[in-house]
Chain A
Amino acid sequence: MANVPNDLRYTREHEWAKQEGDRVRVGITAYAQEQLGDVVFVELPKVGAKVTATKNFGVVESVKAVSDLFAPISGEVVEVNGELGQKPETVNQDPYGKGWMLVVKPSSKTEWDQLLTAQQYEELIAQGGH
C-alpha cells in the first residue's frame, strides 16, 4: 500500500497539499509516482504565476507518458522546486519531501476543506485510483 501521510490533503488527481502557515506546499503522491514510473521531466509554472484549483498547472512526464498536474488550491506561486529540472527522478525518490513542486499563497480560504483527507484518498486509491 502506498504511503499516504495523515497530515496532508489530497486531490482526486493524486496531488498532495500541505499547510505551512499561510502557504500551501504541493507535490504528487507516492501512489502517483509509482503509477507513473521513472519521472524524466517536470514542467512547472514560474514564481508569480497564478494557479487555479482543479486546473492544470504543469506536466510530469515519465519514460512512457505525459501527465497533467492539477492545482489543489487557487493562488499565487511563491516558490518553485527548480531542482526538479535537473533531477526529475527526485519525484520518485522522495515524493512528499525533496520532490515537492510548488508553494502557493492561497487566494481562497474555503478550497482547503474541499480537498480529500488522507482517509478519503486511501479509499480512492484502494478502488484503483479513479
Chain B
Amino acid sequence: MSTPLKRTPLYQEHVAAGARMVPFSGWEMPVQYTGIIEEHRAARQAIGLFDVSHMGEFEVEGPGALAALQHLTTNDVAGLEIGQVQYSVLCYPNGTIVDDLTVYRLGGDRYMLTVNAGNIDKDWAHVTKSTEHIKDARWRNASEGTGLIAVQGPKAEALVARLADRDVASIGYYRFARGHVGEVPAVISRTGYTGEDGFELYAPADGTVTLWKALLAAGRGDGATPVGLGARDTLRLEMKYALYGNDIDDTTNALEAGLGWVVKPAKGEFIGREALEKVRSEGLQRRLVGIEMVDRAVARHGYPVQKDGRAVGVVTSGSYGPSVDKYIGIAYVETPLAAAGTALDVEIRGQAKAARVARTPFYPSKVKKPG
C-alpha cells in the first residue's frame, strides 16, 4: 500500500516523547514509549494515558436515528438513555461481524458511534448504505475532527476529577457527561479497554494536544504514563476483550465470539438477526475461549489448536500477560472443548505445546460496575 499513513493530533507529542511509531490500520501510532511491560503496569497500578484518536466517530441524528441503529446494530438501542453508552456489534446478513462498537445516546434523537480505526471507511459505507431506506436519519462522519484520549487505572478518576469543571465521580460505568477537562470541551465517558476504572475523553481535534499535556502534567505525580498500542493489547488480552481483526472479523459470527450478551433478537429486525437466530437454535460449532499455556511457549494469532493430535481450533490472540505472569491467549475451539480446565495443545513451530482452557478474564476486572 502506498497510501500515506494518517496521524492523530498527538503525533508530534509521541515523537517528542521518544515513542516508537509503527503503522497500525493505516495510522502511524505509538507502539511503545519506554517499554510495553512498564506501560502495562502503569495502567494497572497508577494511570495510563492512551491516544486512541485514530478511532472513528459517526453521528446520526433525526427522527429516524433510532430506527437506523436498531436496524444496524445487534443490541437494543430503544432502552438506551441520554448519557448512556452501549457496547454493540454491526453484523452482515450472515451474522459475521462488520465491526464492534460503542453507541452513545447524545440527545433525544442524536447518537454517536465509536468504531475501530481500521474499519472507518468500511463502516461508513456500511451504515450509510444499509440505512438508505430509513428516512430522517442524517449521518455525519466526525472522525477527523475528533480526538480521543483514554485515561485508565486506579488513579484515573482522581486525575480527571482534578482537571474537570464538573463532578465526574457520579458518572457511572458506561455513562458519559459533557464538561471541560483542562479547559478543553470533552465528552467524559466512563468506558475503556483495559479492565481498569477510568474514562475515555472525546475532544475536538484542535484541543487534543492541550488535553494530553494537561493530563500528563497534572498526573505525573501520580504516575500518569503514556501507554502505546503494545500495552493496550496486553491489557485487553488479560480481560479477554475481543480485538477486531484478531479475534473477530467477517468470518466469525457474533455468538461464537462470545458477544451473545449484546445480541437481542427480541427487539425486532436487524441485519444478521435471522442468521444468528439459526446459529442459536442449531447450537454453536465453536466458541471463543481464553487459554493459558501449561508448557513454556507463547501462543500467537493463527497457531492451530489440537486435541490428541486432531485439529480443533485456532489461536486468535496470544502473548505474555504481565499482570498474570503467564503466557495467555484467546482461541476458537470446538464447543465440547470450551469448558474451563479442558486440556488442549497449541501447535507452535511444529510441536504440540500443552495448554488449557482458562477462566476469564485472566485478570480481575476493576471497572466500576453499578453495585
Q: Would A41 and B298 be within 8 Å (CB), given that A59-B349, A64-B319 are in contact?
A: yes
Instruction: Kindly report which residue of chain B lies nearest to residue A61, judged by CB atoms.
Output: B298
Complex-state Cα separation, A85 to B297, whole angstroms: 10
Complex-state Cα separation, A43 to B350, whole angstroms: 14
Q: Which of B29-37, B51-59, B89-97, B144-152 contacts A (4 or more CB under 8 A)?
A: B29-37
Question: From residue A89, how far is it (CB to closest CB) to chain B in Å?
Answer: 8
Contacts of B230 in A (CB 8 A): 37, 63-64
Q: B298 and A40: CB pair below 8 A?
A: yes
How many chain A residues touch B (Cβ–Cβ < 8 Å)?
A: 12
Instruction: Kindly report which residue of chain A lies nearest to residue B35, judged by CB atoms.
Output: A38
Contact of A63 among B20, B37, B296 (CB under 8 A): B37
Q: B300 and A38: CB pair below 8 A?
A: no
Whether A66 is near chain B, meaning CB under 8 Å from some CB there, is yes
Q: Would A38 and B296 be within 8 Å (CB), given that A59-B349, A63-B234, A63-B320 are in contact?
A: no
Whether B327 is near chain A, meaning CB under 8 Å from some CB there, is yes
Q: A37 and B298: CB pair below 8 A?
A: no
Question: From residue B41, how far is it (CB to closest CB) to chain A in Å?
Answer: 11
Q: A37 and B300: CB pair below 8 A?
A: no
Complex-state Cα separation, A85 to B295, whole angstroms: 11
Complex-state Cα separation, A1 to B322, whole angstroms: 29
Q: Would A66 and B320 be within 8 Å (CB), given that A37-B32, A38-B36, A59-B349 are in contact?
A: no
Instruction: Kindly report which residue of chain B lies nearest to residue A88, judged by CB atoms.
Output: B320
Instruction: Kindly report which residue of chain B lies nearest to residue A86, judged by CB atoms.
Output: B296
Q: Which 9 A-B pairs have the closest CB atoms?
A: A40-B320, A63-B36, A38-B37, A41-B298, A61-B298, A38-B36, A38-B35, A63-B319, A64-B230
Other A-B pairs, 8, CB within 8 Å; known A38-B36, A59-B349, A64-B36:
A37-B32, A38-B37, A40-B327, A41-B320, A41-B327, A43-B297, A64-B31, A64-B230
